[in-house]
Amino acid sequence: MSLTDAPKIITARAQYDDSHTLERFLATGGNDGLKKALTMTPEAVQAEVDAASLLGRGGAGFPAGRKWAMLRKADVSYLVVNGDESEPATFKDHLLVERDAHQLVEGVTIASYALQVNQAFIFLRGEFALGLERVQEAINDAYKTGALGTNIFGSGFSLDIVVHPGAGAYICGEETALLEALEGKRGYPRIKPPFFPAAIGLYGEPTVVNNVETMSNLPWIVLNGGAAFAALGAGRSTGTRLFALSGHVRNPGVYELEMVKHTFRDLIFSPELGGGVPNGDVKAIIPGGVSAPWFYPEQLDIPLGQDEVAEQGSMLGSGSIVVMDTNTCMVRAAWRITKFFSRESCGQCTPCREGSGWLERVLWRLENGQGRMEDLDLLLDLCDNIAPGLGWPPQQTTICVLGPSIPSSIHSAISRFRDEFLAHITQGKCPHA
């Protein structure tokens, strides 16, 4: 296969070694999108984003234009940018904040103008020490060049951006937990309704929460028009998207690809992209972060598009794809993913808090050859308690969707690789060890 000739929308600058500097930013069209936006009305900017059909890149894939339209009108409202990026195997925002923080700041300023908010926050996970510094530098640069602060480029529009460090908690990626963290509290997700951020968000005021990648698309969209963006991709999945490829591939990394025009197989095997599986072949892939149900070799020809993946019973989620080769122990993989959820459950809801820990203990004893035949039914039963019916998308009995995401990997592993679980029990050890 060959790559489509779609432009690089958000990683064009990242090819330069000095992509993070103000000089490179200004030499490569930096602030052109913002300057154009400021000549338009806020409504006209919103209309372009709407026409682009830009789906949120944080995981849920909600159209940004529609989200903006839902913002409750009030004297004070906020824009909060989600750079928590803690979904396992997701590492695309990492690239955007380290390599092109100016683009992010420009995008945030465009969004703030469109929404007419005067205060925005960029929340980054605390482990991004360099990213935090780069974004602060970009903010300082923007102030110095008149792209931020009072009366931006003489337009009369004013904005301040504060970069806010997290302190190590996956759950703060959930937007209402993020707002709690930003208010100086524990990252406990809020109950929706009533706490939809667009109605009752930061400090109780209406708030838009958008992902780092979502924001980074805005300079290009404003400059080239929403229609040009919507002309790329297909169906609801427009534009390009960053795919973070990891696991058993020759060339793991972040690839910007036109939506829908390529398949999982292309991404994994194309010499210009993943370059194939070094040892053996694909056994299973995780298509959109560890919350997503797994795909198998016969599903590799599914296109990389939001609805295309959803129709096949999983999700494109955060755009991260993990490849597991034929030598992978699936019990061990499911155990480690479950251990993650049990460590990161915030503890507010009983099924999530108790269920995740119990599941992890059962998987651990199975992996170590101390499991019992009844354990398989026990695992599925516990999963069913967290997400009744084990369907996709899962039923939610908890405050947020972390809980209902826990069964995905366990259910996938047992459904497809039951004999591997049985081998652990009958052999009294991990057959792969």
Partner 1 sequence: MSYFTDGRQARAEQLIAIYPEQRSALIPLCHLVQEQDGYLSEEGMVAVAELCGVTPAEVRGTATFYDMLHTEPVGKYLVGVCTNIACLLAGGLELLEHAEGSLGVRVGATTEDGLFTLEETECLADCNIAPCVQVNHRYVRTTTPEQFDALVSELRDGGRASEIPSHGTLIRTRRDVDLAADPGLVAQERAARRAAVEGQS
Ligand X SMILES: Cc1cc2nc3c(=O)[nH]c(=O)nc-3n(C[C@H](O)[C@H](O)[C@H](O)COP(=O)(O)O)c2cc1C
Read off the tokens for 121: 């926050």
Q: Is 171 in the site for ligand SF4 (CB under 6 A)?
A: yes
Tell me which of ligand X, partner 1, ligand FES, none is bound by residue 401, counting a contact when its beta carbon lies within the kind-specific cut-off of 5 to 8 angstroms.
Answer: ligand X
Opening angle at CA 316, ends 314 and 320, nearest 5: 120
Q: How far is the CB of 339 from ligand FES (least distance, A)?
A: 12
170/220 with CB nearer partner 1: 170
- Chain residues 172-231 in contact with ligand SF4, contact rule CB under 6 A: 189
With CB under 6 A, what is the number of residues at the site for ligand SF4?
A: 14
Q: How far is the CB of 181 from ligand SF4 (least distance, A)?
A: 13
Q: Cα separation of 431 and 420, whole Å?
A: 8
Q: How far is the CB of 385 from ligand SF4 (least distance, A)?
A: 13
The residue nearest ligand FES at its CB is 88
Q: Cα separation of 152 and 105, whole Å?
A: 13
83/371 with CB nearer ligand FES: 83
- Give contact residues for ligand X (rule: CB under 6 A): 56-60, 62, 67, 82, 84-87, 171, 173-175, 209-211, 214, 400-402
- Residue from 317, 355, 403, 407 touching ligand SF4 (CB under 6 A): that is 403
Q: Collapsing DSSP states into helix, strand and coil, what is residue 186?
A: coil
Q: Which residue type does 251 have? A: N
Per the DSSP assignment, residues forming a β-bridge with 164 are 123
Tell me which of ligand FES, ligand X, ligand SF4, none is bound by residue 82, counting a contact when its beta carbon lies within the kind-specific cut-off of 5 to 8 angstroms.
Answer: ligand X
86/356 with CB nearer ligand X: 86
Greatest CA separation for the chain: 74
Stretch that binds ligand SF4, among 54-62, 76-84, 152-160, 342-350 (CB under 6 A): 342-350
Opening angle at CA 84, ends 238 and 265, nearest 5: 45
Per the DSSP assignment, residues forming a β-bridge with 285 are 295, 323
CA-derived radius of gyration, the chain: 22
Read off the tokens for 424: 């652990």
- Chain residues 248-267 in contact with ligand SF4, contact rule CB under 6 A: none
DSSP letter, residue 222:
H
E-only strand ranges, 239-352: 240-247, 253-258, 282-286, 320-325
Task: Determine how β-strand 253-258 pairs with β-strand 240-247.
Answer: antiparallel
112/318 with CB nearer ligand FES: 318
Cα 136 to its chain centre, rounded Å, is 22
Q: Is 89 in the site for ligand FES (CB under 6 A)?
A: yes
337/349 with CB nearer ligand FES: 337
Q: Cα separation of 299 and 312, whole Å?
A: 9
Tell me which of ligand FES, ligand X, ligand SF4, none is bound by residue 65, counting a contact when its beta carbon lies within the kind-specific cut-off of 5 to 8 angstroms.
Answer: none
Task: Report the interface residues with ligand FES, using CB under 6 A.
Answer: 88-89
Per CB under 6 A, residues contacting ligand SF4 are 171, 189, 345-349, 352-353, 398-400, 402-403
